Amino acid sequence: MRLKLKKHAFTLGLLGVVVLAILFPEPGAKGGILFSEFTTKLGVFVIFLLQGLGLPTSELAAGYRPKRLHAFVLSWNYFWFPIVAGLLLLPLSLVLPSDFQLGFWLLAILPTTVSSSVVFSTVSGGDTSNAVFSTVFSNLLSVLLVPTVAVAYLASETEAKIPLLPLFTTLLILIVLPLIIGQIFRKVVPAQSAVVTKRTKPLGKWTILFIVHCAFANSVQSGFLGQLDATLIIAVPGGAIALLIIVSELIWWSAAWLRITRAQRITVFFCASQKSLATGLPLATSILAAAPGVVDTAAVLIPLLSYHPAQLVLAGMLSGRFVTKET
């Protein structure tokens, strides 16, 4: 029982901070003792600083080839995934308000996970070097691609006008700069960086939980969450799970066309099907902060928060099967 709780501690933590936001929204909402733009931005900076410290970039050169593998992953991260999500939204749009639809669109264009994709690829017999290269490339590309697409969507659906240059500058400072600083420290003082990474491992997750709590607390204060009915509570998580299953099936099936090794195919599966909460949450909150009041942040995040634990459960189930079939 204790092992199961430990394994799903982060998912339970997400549920916990959402419940706390519903019951006690004042501390985490705007004007509360917990919330401030500075603390939120500092939290994002810390997340990527820790990722930079722990990122094994020595694997990048080894994982560069084959190029078609990485092109395939990127095509699913940013092209095919949105197409599948768009088709799924055709029936869901009948019951989902526009804020939730934006959440699914944003989920569809987010980069892959870094740590989860690499870990699941490794334990499943996949190619670790390929996984590191694909995840790093996908996440760096997202800093330019995700804001551009999201802002264009917001402009077409609402009257919001978001200047891209200040947004890019903010994201470069909050995401790319700490990654670079972390990598510099990793190169200069590798032993100390390894110690810091090990001791501060929970800090990144706690920071994500804090940002999620503040987003939901603001939504509760605005009265948006109180308007949700049972249909939405079922439709959004159900739609996210359906999207995960459909995309996973299509990725594993289409990856056979690449003519790559089984280990590389496993890596492709995890890197192409997973979506990053660590990168997606800062991207989403930064984009929406540039257009305050246009949409409800919590509503936009709910599809991602539904997809993330579902992908971890599925990956955990499949990793054992991949190893079993290989042996």
Is 93 in a helix, a strand, or coil? coil
pLDDT above 90 as % of the chain: 43
CATH number for the region 27-326 comes to 1.20.1530.20
Residue 188 · residue 53 · CB < 8 Å: no
Q: What is the mean pLDDT of residues 3-22?
A: 78
pLDDT tens per residue, range 151-164: 888 888 777 778 88
Residue 241 pLDDT grade (very low, low, confident, very high; cuts 50, 70, 90):
very high
Residue in the block written with tokens 């959440």 = 103
pLDDT tens per residue, range 109-137: 999 998 899 989 999 999 999 999 999 99
Under the phi-then-psi rule, with left for phi > 0, alpha for psi from -120 to 50, and beta for the rest, what region is 81? alpha
Half-sphere exposure of 85 (CA within 13 A, CB side): 26
Residue 273 · residue 311 · CB < 8 Å: yes
Sequence ranges of the domains in the chain:
27-326
Please report which residue ranges of the chain form alpha helices under DSSP H.
Answer: 2-7, 9-23, 37-54, 67-75, 81-92, 98-108, 115-123, 128-157, 164-171, 177-188, 190-199, 201-222, 230-254, 262-273, 277-289, 297-326
Amino acid letter, residue 148 = T
Residue 204 pLDDT grade (very low, low, confident, very high; cuts 50, 70, 90):
confident
pLDDT of 223 strictly over 90: no
